[in-house]
């Protein structure tokens, strides 16, 4: 009887229990992606954007904690504040003093800009291990009495019936089936693009919120056949297409949108690009296709941000200064239309870095800060934005020389987007710079298994073999690269350098000269190698003459573009140690892009016994 009575009695939860469970400051463990997004929100805030060292401290501590690495005072001193690995924290309190400043800065941030943030990052006193908190959203006020609530709901429902009917009718997603693209022809370089591009098209259509998406079997079974198509698809339309390789490492994609009832073609699109560019830009390509299909079939206009964004993407990688400047303006307009559009922020970071590389006069600290800030904002909006992680990793790698932080960001970029080329290349290069040549080689091997045969991947693979003194394998990669891209110097550089390091200097010189004849203007990398080989051959006049083709020895200042590292190579081959070390010091001070390879470059092995070699190598730790 007691059970029967309990069953008929309404079950009431004590309000005190509810309040205890749902109180405002209830904490939940935040995920790694939430923590990374919060970190980027903090670093993008004005108070931290102007405090480079404190930002570096926080970024190092959070990244190390997420990676499960030990966080010690000495490690922070070396990694963030440039202290020598042998420094004594007892006599140098820089880390303790900065930790106190960082704690105060974080408190100020959460009292102002970060007051509403759902995640909190703290640095508790007494250590350097950050703490992470996720706060539940504040609860709404108590609901009104039941009778009032029902009456109000009924009235609202009556008033909204016509509006809801119209909105549902207008907003109901259309249905589409996506079939795997067919790889036509015998070109193996596009085969690996087929599955990934199909998946990106499907994801873009789903992500638009305008389509109900289903998958169908291979498009070869259904394209153009009305009756089977109707039986096998309950959708309104079917997206199908082909992908095939063309001349000069290009790819062509032909897409068709078919009416699933009668098989008639509603829309077609043909797109051509370099294989490497298509592999790199699949997400943006798929987003553009989704918008074109929606506009053509359903009459749905693309978001206002899209026109600016799509055009910016077309311009950013042209290699033309004016075009890249225009892409920056268009990315900014896209952001103005939708400030929460993470891909536009990542594109803005990419464009600013690209412009700095193209035009030395525009390579300013302000431009680098814009790129860094844009990448951080992109991650704050979407922690899964692979391009933003890649751009931030590139800044850490090439500009900050914070190689371990670069490895963290670039590893994340590769995890999020394993098909893009740039993150894979940068990740392998970053691993090389911390001496992990096995990891660098594995990163390229994994990328080669996922991506088409692309010259830049082969070149990075050969470069890692060079640093690892595997010269026969390096030459084999060079020969493969020459066959794949005979009008670029990359393969000749690999083959020539492999020959030189095995004592075949005359053959190396011939290889370098052959490569230089295949390009319309001097390639500095190859000239650098050629000057070194002439030096080894004892031909001082030609070694110096080659060096002067890329080096202005009368320049008043040395910059990261001076190629001081190459000058040091030439003087090392000429056995002029004093001048070689002088140029190496200039390369270090100017942050020459090649200098981080110094400890692993076999061409400097003759300098190893000099104490200056160890000091220069230690400066990179």
Mean pLDDT of 524-541: 97
Evaluate if residue 389 carries a pLDDT over 90: yes
What's the pLDDT score for residue 226? 34
What's the pLDDT score for residue 289? 86
User: Which is more confidently placed, 33 or 249?
Assistant: 33
What are 569's two structure tokens? 């190579």
Lowest mean pLDDT among 249-253, 521-525, 535-539: 249-253
Task: Based on DSSP, count helices (H) and strands (E) in the chain, helices before strands.
Answer: 29, 9
User: Which is more confidently placed, 364 or 158?
Assistant: 364
Burial label for 579, CB within 10 Å (0-12, 13-18, 19+), is middle
Tell me what percent of the residues of the chain surpass a pLDDT of 70.
Answer: 83
What are 176's two structure tokens? 């589409």
Instruction: Give the architecture (CATH level 2) of 176-301.
Output: 3-Layer(aba) Sandwich (3.40)
Evaluate if residue 20 carries a pLDDT over 70: no
Taking alpha carbons only, the member of 438, 486, 89 closest to residue 248 is: 486
Tell me what percent of the residues of the chain surpass a pLDDT of 90.
Answer: 42
Cα distance between residue 208 and residue 239, in whole Å: 15
What are 562's two structure tokens? 């001076």
**46-60, 89-103, 251-265: range with highest mean pLDDT:** 89-103
Cα distance between residue 289 and residue 389, in whole Å: 25
Nearest 5 degrees, angle CA 279-CA 283-CA 289?
105
pLDDT one-digit tens code per residue, 197-243: 888 888 888 877 777 887 665 444 333 333 334 434 578 888 888 88
Taking alpha carbons only, the member of 276, 294, 84, 269 closest to residue 192 is: 276
Residue with token string 């939940």 = 28
Cα dihedral angle (194, 199, 204, 205), rounded to 10 degrees? 100
User: Which is more confidently placed, 290 or 412?
Assistant: 412
Lowest mean pLDDT among 88-97, 226-235, 376-385: 226-235
Cα distance between residue 316 and residue 349, in whole Å: 11
Mean pLDDT of 178-186: 79
Distance of CA 412 to the CA centre of its chain: 8
Answer whether 479's CB lies under 8 Å from 471's CB.
Answer: no
Confidence class for position 148, pLDDT limits 50, 70, 90: low
The residues facing 332 across adjacent strands are: none
Cα distance between residue 616 and residue 592, in whole Å: 13
What's the pLDDT score for residue 24? 44
What's the pLDDT score for residue 8? 40
Confidence class for position 587, pLDDT limits 50, 70, 90: very high
Lowest mean pLDDT among 21-35, 160-174, 350-364: 160-174
Lowest mean pLDDT among 166-175, 378-387, 545-554: 166-175
Answer whether 457's CB lies under 8 Å from 448's CB.
Answer: yes
What are 77's two structure tokens? 């001193």
What's the pLDDT score for residue 21? 40
Answer whether 289's CB lies under 8 Å from 254's CB.
Answer: no
| Number of Cβ within a 10 Å radius of residue 270 | 9
Mean pLDDT of 396-403: 94
What's the pLDDT score for residue 220? 41
Cα distance between residue 158 and residue 136, in whole Å: 34
Nearest 5 degrees, angle CA 203-CA 204-CA 210?
110
Mean pLDDT of 147-175: 56
Mean pLDDT of 88-106: 86
User: Which is more confidently placed, 468 or 450?
Assistant: 468
Q: What is the mean pLDDT of the chain?
A: 83
Taking alpha carbons only, the member of 537, 535, 571 closest to residue 553 is: 571
Residues whose CB falls within 8 Å of the CB of residue 555, separated by 6 or more in sequence, listed in order: 562
Helix (H, G, I), strand (E, B) or coil at 254: strand
Residue with token string 């298994």 = 449
Confidence class for position 247, pLDDT limits 50, 70, 90: low
Confidence class for position 462, pLDDT limits 50, 70, 90: very high
- Which helix (H) or strand (E) segment is 243 a member of? strand 237-245
Evaluate if residue 318 carries a pLDDT over 70: yes
Quick one: DSSP state of residue 162?
Answer: H
Answer whether 515's CB lies under 8 Å from 489's CB.
Answer: yes
Mean pLDDT of 586-602: 95
Residues whose CB falls within 8 Å of the CB of residue 373, separated by 6 or more in sequence, listed in order: 44, 49
What's the pLDDT score for residue 310? 83
């Amino acid at each position: 009887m007691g059970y029967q009575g309990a069953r008929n009695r309404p079950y009431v939860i004590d309000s005190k229990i509810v309040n205890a469970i749902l109180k405002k400051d209830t904490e939940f463990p935040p995920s790694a992606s939430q923590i990374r997004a919060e970190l980027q929100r903090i670093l993008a805030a004005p108070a931290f954007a102007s405090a480079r060292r404190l930002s570096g401290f926080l970024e190092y501590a959070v990244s190390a904690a997420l990676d499960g690495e030990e966080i010690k005072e000495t490690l922070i001193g070396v990694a963030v504040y440039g202290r020598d690995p042998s420094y004594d924290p007892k006599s140098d309190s820089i880390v303790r003093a900065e930790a106190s400043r960082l704690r105060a800065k974080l408190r100020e941030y959460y009292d102002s800009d970060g007051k509403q943030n759902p995640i909190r990052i703290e640095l508790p006193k007494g250590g350097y291990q950050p703490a992470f908190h996720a706060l539940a959203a504040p609860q709404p006020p108590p609901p009104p009495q039941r009778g009032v609530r029902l009456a109000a709901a009924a009235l609202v429902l009556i008033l909204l019936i016509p509006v809801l009917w119209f909105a549902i009718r207008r907003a109901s997603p259309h249905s589409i089936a996506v079939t795997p693209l067919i790889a036509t022809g015998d070109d193996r370089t596009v085969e690996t693009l087929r599955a990934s591009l199909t998946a990106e098209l499907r994801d873009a259509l789903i992500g638009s919120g305008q389509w109900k998406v289903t998958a169908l079997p291979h498009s070869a079974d259904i394209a153009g056949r009305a009756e089977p198509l109707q039986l096998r698809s309950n959708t309104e339309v079917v997206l199908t297409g082909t992908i095939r390789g063309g001349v000069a490492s290009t790819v062509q994609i032909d897409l068709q949108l078919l009416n699933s009832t009668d098989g008639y073609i509603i829309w077609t699109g043909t797109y051509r690009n370099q294989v490497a560019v298509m592999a790199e830009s699949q997400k943006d390509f798929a987003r553009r296709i989704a918008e074109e299909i929606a506009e053509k079939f359903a009459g749905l206009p693309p978001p206002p941000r899209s026109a600016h964004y799509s055009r910016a993407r077309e311009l950013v990688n042209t290699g033309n200064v004016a075009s890249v400047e225009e892409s920056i303006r268009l990315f900014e307009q896209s952001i103005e239309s939708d400030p929460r559009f993470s891909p536009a922020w990542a594109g803005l970071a990419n464009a600013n870095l690209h412009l700095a590389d193209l035009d030395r006069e525009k390579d300013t600290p302000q431009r680098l800060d814009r790129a860094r800030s844009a990448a951080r904002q992109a991650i704050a909006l979407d922690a899964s934005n692979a391009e933003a992680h890649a751009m931030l990793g590139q800044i850490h790698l090439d500009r900050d020389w914070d190689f371990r932080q670069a490895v963290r960001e670039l590893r994340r970029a590769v995890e999020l987007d394993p098909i893009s080329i740039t993150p894979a290349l940068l990740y392998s290069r970053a691993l090389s710079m911390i001496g992990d040549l096995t990891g660098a080689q594995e990163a390229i091997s994994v990328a080669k298994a996922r991506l088409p045969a692309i010259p830049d991947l082969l070149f990075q693979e050969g470069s890692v073999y060079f640093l690892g003194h595997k010269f026969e394998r390096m030459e084999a990669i060079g020969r493969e690269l020459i066959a794949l891209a005979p009008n670029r110097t990359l393969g000749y550089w690999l083959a020539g350098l492999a020959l030189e390091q095995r004592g075949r200097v005359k053959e190396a010189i011939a290889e370098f000269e052959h490569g230089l004849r295949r390009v319309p203007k001097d390639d500095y990398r190859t000239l650098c190698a050629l000057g070194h080989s002439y030096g080894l051959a004892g031909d001082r006049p030609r070694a110096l003459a080659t060096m002067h083709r890329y080096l202005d020895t009368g320049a008043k200042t040395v910059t990261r573009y001076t190629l001081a590292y190459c000058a040091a190579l030439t003087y090392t081959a000429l056995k002029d140690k004093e001048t070689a070390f002088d140029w190496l010091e200039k390369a270090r001070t100017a942050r020459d892009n090649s200098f981080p390879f110094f400890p692993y470059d076999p061409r400097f092995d003759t300098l190893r016994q000099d104490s200056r070699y160890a000091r220069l190598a230690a400066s990179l730790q």
